[in-house]
Amino acid sequence: VQADGTDGNCVTFVLHDEDHTLGNSLRYMVMKNPEVEFCGYCITHPSESKINFRIQTRGALPAVEPFRKGLNDLMGVCQHVLNTFE
């Protein structure tokens, strides 16, 4: 979801079938990026299993870039934990 009149640096992603487990972990990974000015999420309603995940970046960096990088970094951390566990 992108607000009218914005250039893509402030976007709210709607993630279905997710909760605090992904939301908080992904927020942490995205906030490690120095180009991210704001990152937060909220659960729309306790009976709905979706979250609104908002990212706002500094400058001309599109918000989808730190979103993708955060997901990839989180997958890498999860893979490392899995390999260490096994």
Domains of the chain (ranges; CATH) run 10-85 (3.30.1360.10)
Measured distance CA(69)–CA(46) in Å, rounded: 28
Q: How far is CA 86 from the centre of its chain?
A: 28
pLDDT on residue 2 = 56
pLDDT on residue 5 = 53
Query: Helix (H, G, I), strand (E, B), or coil: what is residue 63?
Result: coil
Mean pLDDT of 18-35: 95
Tell me the average pLDDT of the chain.
90
pLDDT on residue 35 = 94
Measured distance CA(80)–CA(6) in Å, rounded: 37
pLDDT on residue 6 = 63
